[in-house]
Amino acid sequence: MAESKKRRQRRGTRSVRPDPCSPGKSSPVNFRGIIAFVILLAALAFSRQFLDRSPVPDEPGQSVDRAVAGYYLTDAILEQSDNQGKPLYRLQADRIEQFPNSKLVRLSMVRVSYPGSEQNQGWELSANEGEIMDDGRKIVLRDNVQAREKGENAMRLIRTSKLVFDPVNSIASTDADVIVELAGYRLTATGMIANLKANTVELQSVVNAHFEP
């Protein structure tokens, strides 16, 4: 508990909480080791939403190492702020699964909301699958990935198979094929770097444009 108290004094907070439809109050925690820390708190509080995953042996009589067992949270919301307390992003997922030995955090049916700035009203990222890496400093989205501008006058929709989101620097990038739909035009390319804060999208190579009336 002494280590937990020291961590809470660091700047940059994130809270993890269930879906708004579920009862409960969020608790802000530190940036590093967020998932493991929240799981520890949930275990101490006997939360019903964190469940111990008990691996099933491949063969009868085979022993299972409990150390590889992870935990999962369903219908979860994660919110991250920067050192000044301004929101960096809001992440929602149908399921968040954590593996303590590998520090791997898997996401299922994930939605990431990036707040607006002076240049834009924000972005919405979504995918069927994802992973949280580097203690939350990188979010990798896979399978049916979409990045959509928010706002009534938003025109850009980006589709790809993989997207790496760097919330600290507000960068979303990929080296995969991308499709950008913009005001009647359909752009295709390989590779993309999008600065969500500056509201710019840079296509890397093999760029083609198609007009769709």
149-171 per-position pLDDT tens digit: 987 767 789 999 999 999 989 99
Task: Write down the pLDDT at residue 27.
Answer: 35
Task: Write down the pLDDT at residue 213.
Answer: 67
The topology (CATH level 3) of 2-52+69-211 is lipopolysaccharide transport protein A fold (2.60.450)
Instruction: Determine the Cα–Cα distance for residues 143 and 163; give it in Å rounded to an integer.
Output: 9
Q: How sure is the predictor about 103, in pLDDT bands with cuts at 50, 70 and 90?
A: confident
DSSP type of residue 155: -
- pTM for this structure? 0.69
Domain extents in the chain? 2-52+69-211
147 near 124, Cβ under 8 Å?
A: yes
For tokens 């439809």, name the residue: 21
Average pLDDT estimate for 131-158: 88
Other beta carbons within 10 angstroms of residue 193's beta carbon come to 14
179-195 per-position pLDDT tens digit: 999 888 899 999 999 99
Average pLDDT estimate for 197-204: 92
Instruction: Determine the Cα–Cα distance for residues 212 and 6; give it in Å rounded to an integer.
Output: 56
For tokens 């359909």, name the residue: 186
Instruction: Give the H or E element holding residue 167.
Output: none
Task: Write down the pLDDT at residue 119.
Answer: 65
